[in-house]
Amino acid sequence: MPCGRLRRDPAPGEAFGLGARRGSRSHGWTEPSRGQRIALTIRRKERAVPLPVVLPASLLIAAAMLLAVLALQDDELAFEPLRQPVLGYSIERQIGGELHRLVRVDGGRSVLVTGTLDACEAGLAETLRERFGKGYPNLEMPTLGGMQFWGDVFWYAGWRIQENVYTGHCRLLSPSDERHAWGSAQACRAAFEKLRHEREIELEHPHLVVLVHGLGRTRQTFAPMRDALRAAGYSVAAVEYPSTRRSIDEHADGLSALLDGLDDVETVSFVTHSLGGVVVRKALARESAWRERMELGRVIMLAPPSRGSQVARALVDFVPFRKIAGPSGVELGGELENLPPPPCPFGIIAAARDGERGWNPLLEGADDGVLAVNETELEGASDFLVVHGLHSFLMQAPPVVEGTLAFLELGRFRREEDPVR
């Protein structure tokens, strides 16, 4: 048997450098002391979590944070606004899915409701009423629709919110001009959103034709035109504005704000009468948010004072005229050549008396009783039409209604089969 030193297993603690005592009968070693056992335990615990395991744990935490950020970004990308925000709240729909959610977008984003569109619309109506109230106690009653003391600040499918020129309070009117709420603009909008959900109010067609009346007139003067446009399949907004109470710039501001708040509209065209043509030209000359969301269609101007008005210039110093016509009437006595034409296809229809004589002896050449025909002309027009008629009733003449429908469809006032007017 070869001589040599026998190998043995290390005693507990020896492997860790604790130096066990000799004298144990079973192993040839004595048991470690209490202090050695404590040191042994500590070193075993230190060896239980080696350094290579600590680094992956840190990486896992960082990865989890990155995934959370990516999940948030994916969540934002998965939804898109269904319509314009309403008083700081937005209804969004899932891209490629059927899920909807109501989100508060002012003061930071927070999701209030997630589910069906019906649930989100109901949640929006309730949230608005809780935040902005119901307005003043209301008795549903018919109104005159505005006249010269109210201006439309919101429109959807014939429903309008109007602001009073003198008091600043608002009211919600139905398409038949019945008052459904009044008070602050926010309370009226909250009332509309509730009715919109309950009655399932929707826009008829994504092509909206906006009718803008003239000085001292009302939206009702466009009644025959409005009915014909609806029958042709257009959505029609006959807007009311206090034409004799504010300046042309203020009217343009109000029209732009109303257009900015439109929902479910893809294309906007305009039909104007007299002063309304100047208001629309002013509004279209400005940068507006609605132009980024909607296509500008065509503009038809009926008897527009494109170059100002001789009559207004003659009466500008007459106090009764200034009081009755207001700031806008006075401004029509100025020069409007520097106002750019509409940045889209536009046509003009003027009125005159048959023959060489005009209606108004104070005006030179053919006229409609208020404007000379040459005062309506504007460079760049796609078509120009003169019909027999008077200034104040031009928008109701059958040839004008027919010509307007043709221009919206074809970009000209006469169809091929139409006789020469």
284: closest CA among 294, 225, 374?
294
**Chunked mean pLDDT (size 10), the chain, 421 residues:** 43 42 42 51 46 52 52 62 94 93 91 95 96 94 91 98 97 97 98 97 96 96 98 98 96 97 96 98 94 96 95 92 94 87 97 84 91 95 96 97 98 76 46
Question: What is the pLDDT at residue 421?
Answer: 46
Give the pLDDT confidence score for residue 60 in this predicted structure.
Answer: 54
- Report the C-alpha gap between 10 and 40 in whole angstroms: 14
What pLDDT is recorded for position 71? Answer: 44
Tokens of 384: 């120009």
What pLDDT sits at residue 69?
45
Note every long-range contact of 389-395, with CB atoms under 8 Å and residues 24 or more positions apart, other chains counting: 389/351, 389/352, 390/351, 390/359, 391/274, 391/303, 391/351, 392/217, 394/273, 394/302, 394/303, 394/349, 394/351, 394/368, 395/221, 395/222, 395/224, 395/225, 395/271, 395/273, 395/302
Residue 76's pLDDT is 53
Domains and CATH numbers, the chain: 71-130 (no CATH), 138-202 (no CATH), 203-410 (3.40.50.1820)
Q: What is each CA distance from 24 to 28, 38, 249, 266, 332, in whole angstroms?
A: 4, 20, 108, 96, 120
- Residue 308: the pLDDT is 92
pLDDT at 362: 85
- The three state secondary structure string of 55-117 is HHHHHHHHHHHHHHHHHHHHHHHCEEECCCCECCEEEEEECCCCCEEEEECCCCCEEEEEECH
111 bridge partner residues: 103
- Which helix (H) or strand (E) is 150 found in, with range? strand 150-156
Per-residue pLDDT at 31: 55
**pLDDT (0 to 100) of residue 220:** 95
Question: Given this model, what pLDDT does residue 4 score?
Answer: 42
Q: How far apart are CA 402 and CA 390, in angstroms?
A: 17
**pTM, two decimal places:** 0.80
Please state, in angstroms and rounded to a whole number, the distance separating the CA atoms of residues 208 and 271.
11
pLDDT at 357 (0 to 100): 76
